[in-house]
Amino acid sequence: EVQLVESGGGLVQPGGSLRLSCAASGFTFSSYWMSWVRQAPGKGLEWVANIKQDGSEKYYVDSVKGRFTISRDNAKNSLYLQMNSLRAEDTAVYYCAREISELGIAKYYFDYWGQGTLVTVSS
Amino acid sequence: EIVMTQSPATLSVSPGERATLSCRASQSVSSNLAWYQQKPGQAPRLLIYGASTRATGIPARFSGSGSGTEFTLTISSLQSEDFAVYYCQQYNNWPRLTFGGGTKVEIK
Protein backbone atom coordinates (compact mmCIF):
# COMPACT_ATOMS: atom_id res chain seq x y z
CA GLU A 1 0.00 0.00 0.00
CA VAL A 2 1.35 3.38 -1.00
CA GLN A 3 1.76 5.70 1.96
CA LEU A 4 3.02 9.26 2.18
CA VAL A 5 3.33 10.78 5.64
CA GLU A 6 4.25 14.43 6.06
CA SER A 7 5.72 15.99 9.18
CA GLY A 8 7.48 19.14 10.31
CA GLY A 9 4.69 21.68 10.14
CA GLY A 10 3.98 24.19 12.87
CA LEU A 11 3.79 27.82 13.85
CA VAL A 12 6.64 30.04 12.66
CA GLN A 13 7.16 33.79 12.66
CA PRO A 14 7.38 35.79 9.43
CA GLY A 15 10.91 35.59 8.09
CA GLY A 16 11.50 32.27 9.81
CA SER A 17 12.35 28.85 8.45
CA LEU A 18 10.85 25.39 8.56
CA ARG A 19 11.75 22.04 7.06
CA LEU A 20 9.01 19.66 6.01
CA SER A 21 9.54 15.93 5.54
CA CYS A 22 7.57 13.27 3.73
CA ALA A 23 8.18 9.60 4.46
CA ALA A 24 7.23 7.31 1.59
CA SER A 25 6.49 3.60 1.71
CA GLY A 26 4.79 0.90 -0.31
CA PHE A 27 6.47 1.73 -3.61
CA THR A 28 9.90 2.23 -5.18
CA PHE A 29 10.42 5.85 -4.15
CA SER A 30 13.47 6.34 -6.34
CA SER A 31 11.43 5.65 -9.49
CA TYR A 32 9.06 8.60 -9.19
CA TRP A 33 8.97 12.34 -9.58
CA MET A 34 7.63 13.84 -6.35
CA SER A 35 5.89 17.11 -5.60
CA TRP A 36 4.80 19.41 -2.82
CA VAL A 37 1.33 20.93 -3.20
CA ARG A 38 -0.19 23.39 -0.74
CA GLN A 39 -3.65 24.55 0.22
CA ALA A 40 -4.24 27.78 2.11
CA PRO A 41 -7.09 27.64 4.66
CA GLY A 42 -10.42 27.50 2.83
CA LYS A 43 -8.71 27.88 -0.55
CA GLY A 44 -7.78 25.75 -3.54
CA LEU A 45 -4.72 23.71 -4.41
CA GLU A 46 -1.41 25.19 -5.54
CA TRP A 47 1.54 23.19 -6.85
CA VAL A 48 4.71 24.35 -5.10
CA ALA A 49 7.69 22.33 -6.32
CA ASN A 50 8.76 19.02 -7.79
CA ILE A 51 11.90 16.95 -8.10
CA LYS A 52 13.13 14.28 -10.48
CA GLN A 53 13.81 10.72 -9.43
CA ASP A 54 17.55 11.31 -8.92
CA GLY A 55 17.21 14.89 -7.68
CA SER A 56 18.92 16.32 -10.76
CA GLU A 57 15.96 18.48 -11.82
CA LYS A 58 13.84 20.69 -9.62
CA TYR A 59 11.08 23.13 -10.46
CA TYR A 60 9.26 25.74 -8.38
CA VAL A 61 6.24 27.97 -8.59
CA ASP A 62 7.40 31.56 -9.02
CA SER A 63 6.13 32.68 -5.62
CA VAL A 64 8.58 30.43 -3.73
CA LYS A 65 11.64 30.59 -5.99
CA GLY A 66 14.74 31.56 -4.03
CA ARG A 67 13.02 30.86 -0.70
CA PHE A 68 12.06 27.17 -0.83
CA THR A 69 14.27 24.21 -1.69
CA ILE A 70 12.98 20.75 -2.52
CA SER A 71 15.23 17.74 -1.98
CA ARG A 72 15.05 14.01 -1.52
CA ASP A 73 16.99 11.13 0.03
CA ASN A 74 16.23 7.96 -1.89
CA ALA A 75 18.13 5.83 0.64
CA LYS A 76 15.69 7.02 3.31
CA ASN A 77 12.63 7.09 1.03
CA SER A 78 12.10 10.68 2.04
CA LEU A 79 11.16 13.97 0.42
CA TYR A 80 11.89 17.37 1.96
CA LEU A 81 10.93 20.99 1.61
CA GLN A 82 13.19 23.60 3.19
CA MET A 83 11.22 26.81 3.57
CA ASN A 84 13.07 30.05 4.35
CA SER A 85 11.98 33.68 4.56
CA LEU A 86 8.45 32.55 5.29
CA ARG A 87 5.56 34.93 4.73
CA ALA A 88 1.99 35.03 5.98
CA GLU A 89 0.82 33.98 2.52
CA ASP A 90 2.77 30.71 2.86
CA THR A 91 0.30 29.61 5.54
CA ALA A 92 -1.23 26.39 4.24
CA VAL A 93 -1.51 22.66 4.53
CA TYR A 94 1.43 21.20 2.61
CA TYR A 95 0.87 17.90 0.85
CA CYS A 96 3.46 15.52 -0.50
CA ALA A 97 2.26 13.90 -3.73
CA ARG A 98 3.55 11.22 -6.09
CA GLU A 99 3.63 12.04 -9.77
CA ILE A 100 2.62 9.58 -12.44
CA SER A 101 2.37 9.75 -16.20
CA GLU A 102 0.66 7.83 -18.94
CA LEU A 103 3.03 5.46 -20.65
CA GLY A 104 5.50 7.21 -22.91
CA ILE A 105 4.30 10.71 -22.11
CA ALA A 106 6.50 13.01 -20.03
CA LYS A 107 3.59 14.85 -18.47
CA TYR A 108 2.73 14.05 -14.91
CA TYR A 109 -0.28 14.27 -12.61
CA PHE A 110 -0.75 13.12 -9.00
CA ASP A 111 -1.91 9.62 -8.11
CA TYR A 112 -1.17 9.51 -4.38
CA TRP A 113 -1.20 12.21 -1.73
CA GLY A 114 -0.24 12.36 1.92
CA GLN A 115 -2.56 13.72 4.59
CA GLY A 116 -0.69 17.00 4.78
CA THR A 117 1.04 19.06 7.44
CA LEU A 118 -0.10 22.53 8.49
CA VAL A 119 2.30 25.46 8.31
CA THR A 120 1.18 28.67 9.99
CA VAL A 121 3.21 31.83 9.51
CA SER A 122 2.21 34.41 12.07
CA SER A 123 3.66 36.68 14.70
CA GLU B 1 0.82 30.16 -16.82
CA ILE B 2 -2.28 28.25 -17.84
CA VAL B 3 -5.27 29.45 -15.83
CA MET B 4 -7.95 26.89 -15.02
CA THR B 5 -11.47 28.16 -14.31
CA GLN B 6 -14.14 25.94 -12.79
CA SER B 7 -17.87 26.55 -12.74
CA PRO B 8 -20.07 26.75 -10.88
CA ALA B 9 -18.33 27.48 -7.62
CA THR B 10 -21.09 25.63 -5.77
CA LEU B 11 -23.53 23.07 -7.13
CA SER B 12 -26.57 22.03 -5.10
CA VAL B 13 -27.80 18.58 -6.07
CA SER B 14 -30.18 16.05 -4.58
CA PRO B 15 -28.97 12.49 -3.96
CA GLY B 16 -29.61 10.35 -7.03
CA GLU B 17 -29.49 13.30 -9.39
CA ARG B 18 -26.88 14.02 -12.04
CA ALA B 19 -24.12 16.56 -11.47
CA THR B 20 -22.22 18.29 -14.25
CA LEU B 21 -19.07 20.25 -13.40
CA SER B 22 -17.15 22.40 -15.88
CA CYS B 23 -13.51 23.29 -16.23
CA ARG B 24 -12.04 25.70 -18.75
CA ALA B 25 -8.37 26.25 -19.62
CA SER B 26 -6.98 29.60 -20.74
CA GLN B 27 -5.20 27.80 -23.58
CA SER B 28 -5.30 24.31 -24.99
CA VAL B 29 -4.13 21.54 -22.67
CA SER B 30 -4.97 18.77 -25.13
CA SER B 31 -6.29 15.86 -23.05
CA ASN B 32 -3.77 16.40 -20.25
CA LEU B 33 -6.35 17.08 -17.58
CA ALA B 34 -7.05 15.40 -14.26
CA TRP B 35 -9.93 15.62 -11.79
CA TYR B 36 -9.61 15.21 -8.03
CA GLN B 37 -12.12 14.86 -5.22
CA GLN B 38 -11.46 16.33 -1.80
CA LYS B 39 -13.55 15.79 1.31
CA PRO B 40 -13.22 17.98 4.42
CA GLY B 41 -10.03 17.28 6.33
CA GLN B 42 -8.81 14.82 3.72
CA ALA B 43 -6.22 14.82 0.97
CA PRO B 44 -7.35 15.05 -2.65
CA ARG B 45 -8.07 11.76 -4.42
CA LEU B 46 -7.44 11.19 -8.12
CA LEU B 47 -10.64 10.48 -10.03
CA ILE B 48 -9.88 11.01 -13.71
CA TYR B 49 -6.74 11.47 -15.82
CA GLY B 50 -6.27 11.95 -19.53
CA ALA B 51 -9.54 13.91 -19.41
CA SER B 52 -11.66 10.75 -19.49
CA THR B 53 -9.87 7.75 -17.95
CA ARG B 54 -11.06 6.71 -14.51
CA ALA B 55 -8.36 6.04 -11.96
CA THR B 56 -8.14 2.66 -10.27
CA GLY B 57 -11.12 1.95 -8.04
CA ILE B 58 -13.20 4.92 -9.15
CA PRO B 59 -16.88 4.03 -9.68
CA ALA B 60 -18.35 4.12 -13.16
CA ARG B 61 -20.78 6.88 -12.17
CA PHE B 62 -17.86 9.29 -12.54
CA SER B 63 -17.04 10.23 -16.12
CA GLY B 64 -14.88 12.87 -17.73
CA SER B 65 -15.01 14.38 -21.18
CA GLY B 66 -13.55 17.17 -23.27
CA SER B 67 -10.28 18.23 -24.83
CA GLY B 68 -8.47 21.42 -25.68
CA THR B 69 -9.93 24.08 -23.40
CA GLU B 70 -13.33 22.74 -22.31
CA PHE B 71 -13.81 19.82 -19.93
CA THR B 72 -16.65 18.26 -17.99
CA LEU B 73 -16.87 15.95 -15.01
CA THR B 74 -20.20 14.17 -14.72
CA ILE B 75 -21.46 12.24 -11.73
CA SER B 76 -24.39 10.26 -13.08
CA SER B 77 -26.28 9.58 -9.85
CA LEU B 78 -24.99 11.32 -6.76
CA GLN B 79 -24.36 9.18 -3.71
CA SER B 80 -23.99 10.57 -0.20
CA GLU B 81 -20.23 10.00 -0.29
CA ASP B 82 -19.89 12.15 -3.44
CA PHE B 83 -20.62 15.43 -1.71
CA ALA B 84 -17.21 17.07 -1.75
CA VAL B 85 -15.06 19.64 -3.57
CA TYR B 86 -13.81 18.75 -7.03
CA TYR B 87 -10.72 20.21 -8.65
CA CYS B 88 -9.48 20.03 -12.21
CA GLN B 89 -5.75 20.23 -12.94
CA GLN B 90 -3.86 20.64 -16.19
CA TYR B 91 -0.57 18.88 -16.70
CA ASN B 92 -0.01 19.73 -20.35
CA ASN B 93 2.33 22.50 -19.25
CA TRP B 94 4.22 20.20 -16.89
CA PRO B 95 6.11 20.91 -14.70
CA ARG B 96 4.08 24.13 -14.34
CA LEU B 97 1.02 22.41 -12.95
CA THR B 98 -2.10 24.43 -12.23
CA PHE B 99 -5.45 23.71 -10.62
CA GLY B 100 -8.88 25.19 -10.98
CA GLY B 101 -10.47 26.93 -8.03
CA GLY B 102 -12.77 24.01 -7.28
CA THR B 103 -16.48 23.23 -7.38
CA LYS B 104 -18.23 22.33 -4.15
CA VAL B 105 -21.00 19.80 -4.63
CA GLU B 106 -23.46 20.14 -1.77
CA ILE B 107 -26.70 18.47 -0.80
CA LYS B 108 -29.79 20.27 -2.04
Give B44-86 as a DSSP string. -EEEEETTTEEPTT--TTEEEEEETTEEEEEESS--GGG-SEE
Minimal CA–CA distance to A93: which of B87, B5, B42?
B42
**What tens digit of pLDDT does each residue of B24-82 get?**
999 999 999 999 999 999 999 999 999 999 999 999 999 999 999 999 999 999 999 99
Closest CA of chain A from B98, distance in Å: 7
Closest CA of chain B from A114, distance in Å: 7
pLDDT bracket for residue A50 (50, 70, 90) = very high
Query: How high is the pLDDT of residue B8?
Result: 96
Could you tell me if A32 lies within 8 Å of chain B, comparing CB atoms? no
Q: Is the peptide bond before B95 cis (omega within 30 degrees of 0)?
A: yes
The residue of chain A with its CA nearest to that of B44 is A113
Percentage of residues in chain B having pLDDT higher than 90: 97
Q: What value does the mean pLDDT take over residues A50-70?
A: 97
Query: How high is the pLDDT of residue A93?
Result: 98
Question: Does B32 contact A59 at a Cβ distance shorter than 8 Å?
Answer: no
Query: How high is the pLDDT of residue A24?
Result: 98
Residues of chain A in contact with residue B43, where contact means CB-CB under 8 angstroms, are 95, 113-116
Could you tell me if A27 lies within 8 Å of chain B, comparing CB atoms? no
CB pairs under 8 A between A and B: 58
* CB-based contact A93:A39 (threshold 8 Å): yes
**What tens digit of pLDDT does each residue of A93-116 get?**
999 999 998 877 788 899 999 999
The residue of chain B with its CA nearest to that of A4 is B43
**What tens digit of pLDDT does each residue of A62-79 get?**
999 999 999 999 999 999
Query: How high is the pLDDT of residue A102?
Result: 80
